Amino acid sequence: MRIGEICTVQTIHCTRDETVQGAALLMRKHHVGDVVVVDQPDGELIPVGIVTDRDIVVSVIALGLDPASLLVDDIMSDDLLTTSENDDVYETIERMRFRGIRRVPVVNTGGGLTGIVSVDDLLEFLAEEMGELSRISAHQQSREKRARQ
């Protein structure tokens, strides 16, 4: 299955010049734990970083810094892992596991932001897959009973 089929398409984003406080307010308003930081060349949203609620706590609040005076560019994770909407789910899981990353922006072939996939999205997908696998035995037993009557 392609990652584009399970990602969240309504991705909350901001530009590098947003304040940390502004990013936190976006997270609060939209009930999310991250904001994708984008550049907008020619109007296309190109992911360049990500800021999480944990980044804000660890890099700003814990140090007693003023979130209204810092920009997301100052604290964002810029070693950004992205995945293409056409990438295989299992390949994406492996890349996330290898890098220890819980959220990955999803991009189109031009590198534009189309969504985000999180560990929660992947767990939901895998749970559904496991449910389908669990039905194999019951289906097989039912067929055997009918065949032996």
pLDDT of residue 77: 83
pLDDT of residue 138: 66
pLDDT of residue 17: 97
Structure tokens at 108: 């189109």
All structural domains of the chain, each given as residue ranges with its CATH number in brackets, are 3-118 (3.10.580.10)
pLDDT (tens, 9 = 90+) of the chain, 149 residues, equals 999 999 999 999 999 999 999 999 999 999 999 999 999 998 899 999 999 999 999 999 999 999 999 999 999 987 899 999 999 999 999 999 999 999 999 999 999 999 999 999 999 999 988 887 877 776 566 666 677 76
CA dihedral 51, 122, 84, 57 (to 10 degrees): 10
Distance CA 39, CA 42 (A): 10
Among 121, 39, 113, 101, smallest CA distance to 72 is for: 39
